């Protein structure tokens, strides 16, 4: 099934879910159909959890929260999870400072931040737990061109300024028979620290045949482009700027009615669909060597040349303490994540995500259960 869907309907879903997440309204939760008896969520612990971070996972989080509220309502408990989509970098910073119970991030916490997080977690490591996969669209605004094809090298050269017009020979070679204008290319990039930026730049490193030389990281390193804040910001900027292109999560591209490029990985153009994203995810491996942390090694996804596999896919993590929470917070975290990993996955494909494969769900559940 193609992930694309009616933008107006998606906008209504997102608006309603955002109200729910912000206000904790039981009225909105009442419209969500759930089988509470089948849920493993206990609804125990403190009633109000807090999280912040990745804007890429905002729509998925709305789904998790509304489902969790509905499950707990049926079980006779009133709960809420307030999530602020302030960006992955901000989420990790707030988590380290103990300002929130968990962080959402498109990149795992590591290095110095991981050490600081362990201090916050009473000496226990913070775990990166993937809850949903989100394909990243190369979304563009180019009149008369609805089926653009790019590859990793062309994408890198657009975002580092080596390709500056839409009729550049390298783009023409990938789009035989398409009339490409001499319109200047405007690259729109994230101005804030972003896990989406980090993943996109990792993809460029893996797939550009050496054209991307400025490295990865949560801040854009390409040295060009016009900045906009958040996933919604870059999508809106492209919507209002003919000749522009950005990297953004599929749901935001769809909400703004943007065209989405196919990616040629060496076996022909691959359109962004649920099936093509899942084909790439099948090749993912874990970077961590055992234990409860489930950080993924996405190099094999970004550099895939498997037939029919769409390579630009990021993992959305929840960063949690593996131990060190007070009893009420720990119980609530485990309850919420259990719901999110199971019934919360329902409906994600309809809003632009790829739900957890069963193999990931099994390992994720084991990690959630192991939170002390």
Distance CA 311, CA 230 (A): 22
The pLDDT, as a whole number, for residue 26 is 36
The pLDDT, as a whole number, for residue 7 is 34
Whether the Cβ atoms of residue 212 and residue 160 lie closer than 8 Å to each other: yes
50/61 same-domain check: yes
Q: How confident is the chain (372 residues) per 10-residue block, as mean pLDDT?
A: 35 34 40 88 98 91 98 97 94 98 92 98 96 92 97 98 98 97 98 90 96 95 96 96 96 93 95 88 76 87 90 92 98 98 93 81 93 94
Q: At which of 279, 305, 336 does a domain end?
A: 279
232/349 same-domain check: no
51/164 same-domain check: no
Distance CA 317, CA 105 (A): 5
271/141 same-domain check: yes
The pLDDT, as a whole number, for residue 21 is 37
Specify if 306 maps to a domain.
no
Where in the sequence is the domain holding 234, given as residue range(s)?
A: 135-279
The pLDDT, as a whole number, for residue 288 is 72
> Beta-carbon neighbour count of residue 237 at 10 Å?
21
Using alpha carbons, select from 364, 265, 266, 367 the residue that is nearest to residue 313: 265
263/332 same-domain check: no
Q: At which of 279, 300, 330 does a domain end?
A: 279
Q: Give the DSSP per-residue string, 138-207.
A: EEEE-TT--S-EEEHHHHHHHHTTS--BTT-HHHHHHSTT-----PBPEEEEESS--HHHHHHHHHHHHH
Specify if 334 maps to a domain.
yes
Distance CA 221, CA 217 (A): 8
Q: Compute and round to an integer the Cα radius of gyration of the chain.
A: 20
158/90 same-domain check: no
The pLDDT, as a whole number, for residue 294 is 92
Q: Are strands 285-286 and 80-84 parallel, antiparallel or unpaired?
A: unpaired
Specify if 244 maps to a domain.
yes
51/143 same-domain check: no
Instruction: Give the total number of structural domains in the chain.
Output: 2
Specify if 291 maps to a domain.
no
Using alpha carbons, select from 338, 336, 332 the residue that is nearest to residue 364: 338
Distance CA 95, CA 114 (A): 11
Whether the Cβ atoms of residue 284 and residue 36 lie closer than 8 Å to each other: no
Distance CA 358, CA 363 (A): 9
139: β partners: 246, 260
> Beta-carbon neighbour count of residue 166 at 10 Å?
22
The pLDDT, as a whole number, for residue 311 is 95
Distance CA 129, CA 316 (A): 8
Distance CA 235, CA 37 (A): 40
Helices then strands, each counted (H, E), the chain = 14, 14
The pLDDT, as a whole number, for residue 289 is 63
217/143 same-domain check: yes
The pLDDT, as a whole number, for residue 275 is 85
The structure tokens listed for 242 are: 């003919």
The pLDDT, as a whole number, for residue 279 is 83
The pLDDT, as a whole number, for residue 282 is 75
Distances (CA, A) of 137 to 104, 118, 258: 20, 34, 10
CATH code of residue 97: 3.40.190.10
126/12 same-domain check: yes
pTM of the model: 0.74
319/241 same-domain check: no
Conformational region of residue 367, where left means phi above 0, alpha means psi within -120 to 50, and beta covers everything else: alpha
What letter would DSSP give residue 293? -
161/243 same-domain check: yes
Q: At which of 221, 253, 279 does a domain end?
A: 279
270/319 same-domain check: no
């Amino acid at each position: 099934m193609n992930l694309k869907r009616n933008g107006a309907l998606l906008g209504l879903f997102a608006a309603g879910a955002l109200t729910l997440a912000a206000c904790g309204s039981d009225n909105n939760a009442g419209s969500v159909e759930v089988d509470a008896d089948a849920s493993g969520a206990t609804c125990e612990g403190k009633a109000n959890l807090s999280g912040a971070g990745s804007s890429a996972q905002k729509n998925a989080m709305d789904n998790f929260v509304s489902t969790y509220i509905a499950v707990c309502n049926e079980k006779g408990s009133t709960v809420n999870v307030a999530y602020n989509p302030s960006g992955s970098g901000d989420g990790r910073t707030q988590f380290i400072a103990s300002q929130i119970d968990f962080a959402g991030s498109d990149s795992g916490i590591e290095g110095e931040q991981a050490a600081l997080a362990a201090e916050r977690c009473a000496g226990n490591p913070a775990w990166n737990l993937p809850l949903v996969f989100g394909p990243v669209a190369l979304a563009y605004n180019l009149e008369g061109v609805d089926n653009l094809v790019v590859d990793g090298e062309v994408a890198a050269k657009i975002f580092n300024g080596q390709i500056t017009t839409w009729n550049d020979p390298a783009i023409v070679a990938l789009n035989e028979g398409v009339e490409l204008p001499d319109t200047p290319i405007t690259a729109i990039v994230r101005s804030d620290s972003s896990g989406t930026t980090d993943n996109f730049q990792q993809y460029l490193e893996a797939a550009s045949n050496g054209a991307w030389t400025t490295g990865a990281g949560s801040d854009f390193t390409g040295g060009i482009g016009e900045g906009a804040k958040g996933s919604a910001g870059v999508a809106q900027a492209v919507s209002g700027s003919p000749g522009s292109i950005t990297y953004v999560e599929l749901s935001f591209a769809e909400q703004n009615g943007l065209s989405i490029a196919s990616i040629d990985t060496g076996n022909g153009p691959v359109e962004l669909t649920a099936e093509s994203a899942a084909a790439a995810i099948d090749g993912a491996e874990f970077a961590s060597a055992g234990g409860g942390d489930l950080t993924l090694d996405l190099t094999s996804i970004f550099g895939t040349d498997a037939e029919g596999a769409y390579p630009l896919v990021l993992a959305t993590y929840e960063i949690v303490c593996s131990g060190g929470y007070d009893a009420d917070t720990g119980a609530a975290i485990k309850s919420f994540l259990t719901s999110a990993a199971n019934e919360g996955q329902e409906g994600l494909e309809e809003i632009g995500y790829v739900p957890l494969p069963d193999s990931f769900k099994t390992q994720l559940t084991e990690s959630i259960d192991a939170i002390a």
